[in-house]
Amino acid sequence: MVIQNNTIEPGQNVVLKLSVGRLPSDTKVYMNVHVFRSMEEGPTLLLMGGVHGDEINGIEIVRRTLAMRWFEGLQRGSVVVVPLVNMQGFNSFSRDALDGKDVNRSFPGSANGSMAARLAYIFNKHILPVIDFGVDFHTGGNGNYNYPQVRYAPTDPKSKGLATAFGAHYIVTSKFIPKSLRKAAFDHGKPIIVYEGGENLRFDQLSIDHGLAGIRRVMHLKGMLSDEVPAPEPCIPIRKSAWVRAERPGIFRWLKQSGETVKAGDKLAVINDPYGMDEIAVIAKKAGHIIGHNNMPVVGMGDALFHIGQ
């Protein structure tokens, strides 16, 4: 296996520092890539977090796999681990890179572009060619909580098999987003599923536990682990989804939350004005499962409140 001119032999465990660029202060920027290779031939798994720098649960899930030394006794194959892709966003508590651009909308990237484009280029040029499949860990953004769920593209049957093996509570059909990592990986012929759990800038132990269990199930499926793995809870397939949005601004108090089933006409929340004069109910227009909800106490007109999946 060769990654950016670094050769990793069977049986080796190494940490690579891939050069990304420099900051205006002339500080060099590197991407830390951990590589674990078994002596036995087999598939190569990619685990990655922090494409969005403020999505801490995903970073923590991947970090824990390293801290617990999960990959030092691989039965077969290799694992490439990138706990933190967007280190600038992480340092500034931001979703985006320092240039204000979204790394996950910058693929395939450019060696001479913005920092987001350079990060995407490193992945597209040096990481995606050496892997066989992967899991990209995310959370909800901007105060939105996502109940543990794994997303796959309906046009990619390989990713559906991975999503099923991962075994999150919800398995969500999600089309490719242009210029995303998942679309770039598909163009390479490499299936990648996206795990979503919790919200940005906040730990959620339920989401972390589900993410760790899912990794072990996927590795067991591919023969990379020989020990027993957690049995998945019943998975609920989500074929389509839509957001219930605020019909007025004000103080948002939810009565239902992610993980619950609702019927059409159910009262999901109330929105009050800040002066104690008005209150309106937020009503479910369709039956379904709440796969995500807004945790912000103050909402504006049209803000997304509940993500309902059918």
Domains of the chain: 2-236 (3.40.630.10), 240-309 (2.40.50.100)
Helix 157-166 vs helix 205-221: angle between axes, to the nearest 10 degrees? Answer: 120
For the whole model, what pTM was predicted?
0.95
Tell me the one-letter amino acid at 303.
D
Cα 282–Cα 283–Cα 288 angle in degrees, nearest 5: 125
Task: Kindly report the average pLDDT of the chain as a whole number.
Answer: 95
Of the pLDDT bands very low, low, confident and very high (cuts 50, 70, 90), residue 23 is confident
Q: List pLDDT tens digits, range 117-137.
A: 999 999 999 999 999 999 999
The dihedrals phi and psi of 185, each to the nearest 5 degrees, come to -65, -40
**Spatial CA neighbour of 209 closest among 224, 197, 218:** 197
Q: Distance of CA 23 to CAs 27, 30, 105, Å?
A: 5, 11, 21
**Spatial CA neighbour of 172 closest among 157, 152, 191:** 152
Q: List pLDDT tens digits, range 49-101.
A: 999 999 999 999 999 999 999 998 899 999 999 999 999 999 999 999 988 99
Per-residue buried b or exposed e for 171-189, using 16+ beta carbons within 10 Å of the residue's own CB:
bbbbebeeebbbbbbbeee
Tell me the one-letter amino acid at 139.
T
DSSP-derived secondary structure for 45-73: EEEEE-SSTT-HHHHHHHHHHHHTTTTTT
Cα 280–Cα 283–Cα 289 angle in degrees, nearest 5: 145
pLDDT for 249: 97
pLDDT above 90 (res 304)? yes
pLDDT above 90 (res 224)? yes
- Spatial contact of 155 and 68, defined as CB atoms under 8 Å apart: no
State what percent of residues in the chain have pLDDT above 90: 92
- Spatial contact of 89 and 100, defined as CB atoms under 8 Å apart: no
pLDDT above 80 (res 37)? yes
Secondary structure class of 212 (helix, strand, coil): helix
Distance CA 270, CA 305 (A): 11
Q: At a CB cut-off of 8 Å and minimum separation 6, what does 8 contact?
A: 1, 2, 14, 35, 37, 78
Q: List pLDDT tens digits, range 132-141.
A: 999 999 999 9
pLDDT above 90 (res 247)? yes
H helices, E strands: number in the chain: 6, 19
Task: List strand residue ranges (DSSP E) for 57-143, in order.
Answer: 78-82, 133-140
Per-residue buried b or exposed e for 267-285, using 16+ beta carbons within 10 Å of the residue's own CB:
ebbebeeeeeeeeeebebe
pLDDT for 216: 95
pLDDT for 229: 84
Place of tokens 């059409």: 264
- Spatial contact of 288 and 265, defined as CB atoms under 8 Å apart: no
Per-residue buried b or exposed e for 85-122, using 16+ beta carbons within 10 Å of the residue's own CB:
bbbbbbeeebbbbbeebbbbebbbbeeebbbbbbbbbb
The dihedrals phi and psi of 109, each to the nearest 5 degrees, come to 85, 180
